[in-house]
Structure 1
């Protein structure tokens, strides 16, 4: 397996851990200085991101349609493009077909950062 393939595999496994709500795996995969940027705001630790996901979604699945990997000065940038589906907590219903793009920085086989973009502002409940 090439370094690029390994970075993509690591990044996808991290996304899968977030989707499952698997705090232990996600925490083990993240660098101690992990940072996240999303439409909901910027975070400098993984814990608050996990808390946000747990409080917002009963279920979240990111259907990855395309993966691109670029080498950076200190690792790899892994880009995932696709569509999300899931259910919000409470009575907010579900959603499907919401476009997303995630950029994960993989450094020394750990996730250093995650930047997320999506079209939730345009999504209609299902």
Structure 2
């Protein structure tokens, strides 16, 4: 039964601490074969006056935004065709790649490319998975099925997809997409 003890400077919200406990629980379970309810996480908070590094008192850095929520918000904006709102969620150097495209850097390029493939598409999510990369980016995978309309107005649904996002500082810097839409389109 693993027990994790963590010391942080006082100042994180209850939501931040809950996210931290959940992520630490999941990290332990990557190595230790324990169910979630067997992993204990204890956060010890230290007042800023009781913490010093390099002969200086410190304050905690603000918690990073939840990368999964950033991805969900971006996908919701894209599905609603709120392109300006979606664009605000993108970081410098943003790049995306879909099946059959090279790197795209602007949302308008994606929309232009997709117009001959389908009239619209919506996503049904089976799940989201987030992890921290060795660099600065958090990685978020989402998976599920696509539904929508082909250019001729015929409906489609049940097409598998998986998206991989890189999120840095709460902004999306990369999106890679894999789906079976080309295989399904050939049968219509």
Shorter-chain TM range is: 0.7 to 0.9
CA RMSD between the two structures: 2.1
Q: Distance in 2 between matches of 1:66 and 1:56?
A: 25
**CA drift at 1:92:** 5.3
Q: Please list the CA deviations of residues 67-121 of structure 1 after superposition, one character each: whole Å capped at 9, or x if unmatched.
A: 11110111211000100100133x1522100000000111111010100000113
Q: Distance in 2 between matches of 1:7 and 1:23?
A: 19
**CA drift at 1:56:** 4.1
Corresponding residue SS for 1:43: coil
Equivalences, count: 124
Identify the residue that residue 141 of structure 2 maps to in structure 1: 79
Structure 1 unaligned regions, length at least 5: none
Residue pairs, 1:44-63, within 5 angstroms: 44-46=104-106, 47-53=108-114, 56-63=117-124
Identify the residue that residue 39 of structure 1 maps to in structure 2: 99
Q: Distance in 2 between matches of 1:93 and 1:120?
A: 14
Corresponding residue SS for 1:41: coil
User: Where is the strand percentage greater, Structure 1 or Structure 2?
Assistant: 1
**CA drift at 1:59:** 2.4
Is 1:24 aligned to residue 74 of structure 2? no
Is 1:67 aligned to residue 135 of structure 2? no
Structure 1 stretches of 4+ with a deviation exceeding 4 A read: none
Q: Distance in 2 between matches of 1:112 and 1:31?
A: 5
Normalised to the residue count of structure 1, the TM-score between the two structures is 0.86
Structure 2 unaligned regions, length at least 5: 1-14, 24-64
Normalised to the residue count of structure 2, the TM-score between the two structures is 0.59
Return the structure number with greater relative CO, CA threshold 8 A, min gap 6: 1
